[in-house]
Amino acid sequence: MSVNAENVKKLREKTGAGFMDCKNALTEAEGDMDQAVDLLRQKGIDVAMAREGKATEEGIVASYVHAGNQIGVLVDLRCETDFVARTDEFREFGRDIAMQVAAMHPQWIAPEDVPCEVVEHEREVLIKQALEEGKPEHIVEKMVEGRLEKFYEDVCLMRQPFIRDDSLTIEDKLNDLIAQCGERVVVNRFVRYQVGEEEE
């Protein structure tokens, strides 16, 4: 099917993806804007997978200090080239991540970063809770897996709903940026300071 230029323009404004990528996504989605956005997001994931081995030695340290100067965050955000590191989109993403960390206080970047002993302890607590609630043993394991996912949403940055649009996770936002810039982008580390909080 043919796609009109106005819709391609709208999709570009919405996603920041290139003209041909938007045109192809709209064609594949038969003009459905929401489906085209999903296709571009998937393409971003595909780009990330294809570039998995690429070095991310460029980037920025993004910062955010909350009003009142009681909470401050530094984020080490990496990409492949200095060109991408200088873009407004990359810098804005870094600031968004710093604000997310300030507001939501994640402890790790992704579930795979959570130490095994922490996951096992959480699993034991959740099993005990489920059994105390009188749940049959054969469904406890399934329940615990679901509740572990909720635990990851609370403590892992990538799984958290984005504070400015909770229909997206931080991982979704990252994949959007990857689709837009065509490079591997990595949240390498972050540190959050809060006045009165003891160092762990």
- Please say if the pLDDT value at position 39 is more than 70: yes
- Please say if the pLDDT value at position 51 is more than 60: no
Query: Using CA atoms, how far apart are residues 42 and 11, in angstroms rounded to an integer?
Result: 15
Bigger pLDDT: 108 or 25?
A: 108
CATH class of 58-110+156-194: alpha beta
The predicted model scores a pTM of 0.71
Q: Which two tokens mark 124? A: 């034991």
Q: What's the mean per-residue pLDDT of the chain?
A: 86
pLDDT number for residue 199: 63
Bigger pLDDT: 37 or 164?
A: 164
Q: Which two tokens mark 156? A: 């892992």
CATH topology of domain 5-50: Helicase, Ruva Protein; domain 3 (1.10.8)
Q: Which two tokens mark 121? A: 């302890």
pLDDT number for residue 59: 94
Instruction: Indicate the angle between helix axes 19-28 and 5-15, nearest 10 degrees.
Output: 110
Integer angstrom CA distances of residue 10 from 112, 127, 188: 37, 48, 32
Query: Using CA atoms, how far apart are residues 192 and 125, in angstroms rounded to an integer?
Result: 27
Please write the tens of the pLDDT for every residue from 70-86: 999 999 999 988 999 99
CATH architecture of 115-154: Orthogonal Bundle (1.10)
Q: What is the DSSP letter of 166?
A: E
Long-range contact pairs involving 3-12 (C-beta distance under 8 Å, separation at least 24): 3/27, 3/31, 7/31, 7/33, 11/36, 11/37, 11/40
Give buried/exposed letters for 44-81 (b at 16+ CB in 10 A, else e): beebbeebeeeebebbbebebeeeeeebbbebebbbbb
| Domain locations in the chain as residue ranges | 5-50, 58-110+156-194, 115-154
